[in-house]
Structures are given as structure tokens and as C-alpha cells.
């Protein structure tokens, strides 16, 4: 019997090895790797998200042993558990997939509301074209029913005098329905006759010497006024959130570096942040996923959300090896700064970007 009869050739690296191996000793590929649908799915997930045994080994410690994975990774155990960035990426994809259903419902509701605004505005334009508008609101007519029912309402003579004085107030009609920045009635009239954008910008108050930024602002403002595209802005905002999270996470790690500057390099704090944000995404994926089918009482949702702070507190105690009191104070300050300053500021910036580029 020839030696070659006892050898197999790897389909991947084309090197030979003895029969009986389930995996190639040279490259690690399975020896019997027929391309079934299951194999295709597994290879896709494994190659791009490293969804293998390491994820399962990492999941339980991530959920129930705060700070453990980050501490083990810093120690050097980097093959036993899933890489923090890979875990964060995989879980973030799942979270934003689940969250997209809520984003879609939100946009549909906004689109419906904005459509009603457009319809009401159109009706208002037609009404003002066919009916003469008075110079002032007739406050006296509004007060007349109150005076006629003064006995039932129990009004005395002094109160009737107050009503008479109010009745004499004249409120200019032209100020009703007028925004702070421009006259909506004038703009609606120009839109109705198909005026050019230059005239519309002038009616909106744009100065003649406006720069690029100002012109862009007015252009987007006019676009929004024409279409009431709040739903589009909302969708652009939601689509940008995954990218924004990749900037927010390093900022969170930077806050940790400030408060624990003697407890390792910035990369150590970044590893901690990757795992903590992975935990957050898992928790909120569960909340959104369950609420989608079986609504949970709000008080339970808030208690679960509050538990994420307790998790952070315990994780900081374990990872940074500080006493409980200092860890609690620093956890609270970091959370306060991130939730009340960094996160709102980031959302405001993201909102402006969404408005300018929707």
C-alpha cells in the first residue's frame, strides 16, 4: 500500500496530512467542509463577526461578572474570549436591527402628522384667498357669551367690568399665525403662485450678503417648510446613530482615563468601555425586543435601565480595584457627565447634521 493512500489533501492550503483529521493541521480548515446552507451561514458569521465558541464563552461572564472580561483581556487571555471590539460590533448590529423597527414606526407616525400639517396649511391658503381677513380679532364677540351667562357663572359687577375692559382690546390679525422668523401667510402665498426660491428666501428673512452656511441653512429650512420632512430628518438621525456610537465610546473611555489616570493606559479603559457598551446593547436589545411583542410596564423598564448603572459600579470596583465608596462616586460622576453633557451635546450635533444633509 502506497503512503499516499493514507494521506488527504487540504482543499484550502493544498497540503497533505494523514487521514482521520477533522481539521487540517496546517491551516485549521475542516477536512469535510461541503458548502451547505448551514456552512455558508456559519462561515459568514464566523469570518465577519467571529461568532464561534469564544462568543458563547464570553456571553455569560459579560452578563453576570461585571469587569471580569476586561480584566482577563488586559492580563493577556486574548484568544480564550471574544475580542472586545468584535463583540461590540456583533452586538451593536443586532441592537440597531431590533431598534430599526421602532425607528420605522416613529418615522411613519411623523410622516402622518406632517402630512396633516401640510393639508391644514393648504386649506388655510385657500381660505385666505376667498375670504376677507379682518384687521383685528373681535374679542368683544368672544366675550359676549360669558356676559350673557353671567348669572349661571356667578359673576359680580366688578368681574363684568374686567370683562368689558378686555373686550375693548384689539389684537392685530396679521400677527396670528406668524412665526418669530418670517410671515407664514406671505410665504404660503408665494409658494401658491410658484415664486422662485430667491423670493422665498427674501420672505424668510435671508440677508442679501449671506454666506454659504447661512444660505445652506435657509435652503434646508425652505425644503423642510415645503415638505414638512421631519420624518426624513428623523430617519437620517437614526441612520447616523451607529456611526455616532463609535465616537461616543472613545469619549466614555476618555472620561474613565481622567478619573482613573493611574490605573492603566487609555487602551485599557477602551477595552473596559467596549465590554460595558456591549452589555448595554444586550440589555436594551432585550428590552426593545420583548416590548415589541409583550409590553413591559414602564417601571420595570426603568428598573432594568437603572441596573446598568449598578453593573457599571460593580465593574469599576472589580476592574480598577478601588474601594466601594470611591468607585461609587466616580461611577456616578462619569455617568452624570456622559448622560447629561456628552450624550445630549452629541445628539444636538447629530440633529444639526441630519437637518443639513437629509
- pLDDT tens by residue, 219-273: 888 888 777 667 778 888 888 888 888 889 999 999 999 999 888 899 999 999 9
- Mean per-residue pLDDT for 116-128? 61
Question: What's the start-to-end Cα distance of the chain, in Å?
Answer: 72
Residue 125 or residue 81, greater confidence: 81
- Neighbouring CB atoms inside 10 A of 341's CB total 11
Q: Is residue 193 over pLDDT 60?
A: yes
pLDDT at 58 over 60: yes
Between CA 276 and CA 307 the distance in angstroms is 13
Cα Rg of the chain (Å, integer): 32
**Which phi and psi (to 5°) does residue 207 adopt?**
-70, 155
Q: Render pLDDT for 279-323 as a digit per residue (tens, 0 to 9).
A: 999 999 999 999 888 888 888 888 998 999 999 999 999 999 989
What integer pLDDT is reported at residue 148 of this predicted model?
A: 59
- Are 8 and 31 in contact by the 8 Å Cβ rule? The answer is yes
| pLDDT of 5 over the 70 cut | no
Could you give the percent of the chain with pLDDT greater than 70? Answer: 73
Residue 164 in this model has a pLDDT that exceeds 70: no
Question: Which residues is 16 bridged to in the sheet?
Answer: 9
Evaluate if residue 37 carries a pLDDT over 80: no
- Sorted by where each begins, the domain ranges of the chain are 1-31, 60-108+231-357, 132-224
Looking at the chain, the whole-number percentage of residues with pLDDT higher than 90 is: 27
| C-alpha closest to that of 114 among 223, 15, 215, 27 | 223
Residue 133 confidence (pLDDT): 39
The closest of 334, 328, 346 to 258, measured between CA atoms, is 334
Residue corresponding to grid cell 396633516: 116
Amino acid at each position: 500500500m502506497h503512503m499516499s493512500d493514507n494521506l488527504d489533501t487540504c482543499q484550502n492550503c493544498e497540503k497533505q496530512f494523514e487521514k482521520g483529521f477533522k481539521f487540517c493541521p496546517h491551516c485549521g480548515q475542516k477536512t469535510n467542509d461541503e458548502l451547505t446552507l448551514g456552512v455558508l451561514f456559519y462561515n459568514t458569521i464566523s469570518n465577519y463577526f467571529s461568532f464561534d465558541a469564544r462568543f458563547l464563552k464570553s456571553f455569560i461572564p459579560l452578563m453576570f461578572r461585571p469587569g471580569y472580561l476586561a480584566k482577563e483581556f488586559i492580563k493577556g487571555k486574548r484568544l480564550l474570549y471574544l475580542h472586545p471590539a468584535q463583540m461590540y460590533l456583533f452586538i451593536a448590529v443586532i441592537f440597531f436591527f431590533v431598534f430599526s423597527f421602532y425607528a420605522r414606526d416613529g418615522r411613519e407616525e411623523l410622516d402622518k402628522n406632517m402630512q396633516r400639517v401640510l393639508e391644514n396649511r393648504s386649506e388655510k391658503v385657500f381660505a385666505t384667498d376667498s375670504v376677507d381677513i379682518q384687521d383685528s380679532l373681535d374679542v368683544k364677540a368672544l366675550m359676549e357669551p360669558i356676559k350673557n351667562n353671567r348669572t349661571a357663572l356667578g359673576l359680580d359687577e366688578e368681574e363684568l367690568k374686567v370683562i368689558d375692559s378686555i373686550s375693548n382690546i384689539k389684537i392685530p390679525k396679521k400677527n396670528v399665525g406668524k412665526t418669530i422668523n418670517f410671515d407664514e401667510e406671505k410665504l404660503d402665498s408665494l409658494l401658491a403662485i410658484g415664486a422662485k426660491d430667491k423670493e422665498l428666501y427674501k420672505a424668510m428673512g435671508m440677508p442679501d450678503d449671506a454666506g454659504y452656511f447661512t444660505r445652506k441653512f435657509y435652503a434646508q429650512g425652505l425644503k423642510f417648510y415645503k415638505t414638512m420632512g421631519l420624518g426624513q430628518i428623523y430617519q437620517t438621525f437614526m441612520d447616523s446613530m451607529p456611526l455616532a456610537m463609535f465616537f461616543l465610546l472613545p469619549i466614555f473611555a476618555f472620561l474613565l482615563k481622567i478619573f482613573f489616570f493611574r490605573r492603566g493606559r487609555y487602551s485599557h479603559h477602551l477595552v473596559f468601555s467596549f465590554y460595558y457598551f456591549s452589555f448595554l446593547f444586550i440589555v436594551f436589545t432585550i428590552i426593545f425586543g420583548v416590548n415589541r411583542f409583550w409590553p413591559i410596564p414602564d417601571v420595570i423598564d426603568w428598573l432594568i435601565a437603572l441596573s446598568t448603572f449598578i453593573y457599571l459600579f460593580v465593574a469599576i470596583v472589580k476592574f480598577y480595584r478601588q474601594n466601594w465608596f470611591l468607585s461609587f462616586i466616580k461611577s456616578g460622576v462619569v455617568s452624570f457627565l456622559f448622560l447629561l453633557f456628552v450624550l445630549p451635546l452629541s445628539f444636538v450635533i447629530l440633529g444639526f447634521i441630519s437637518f443639513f444633509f437629509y
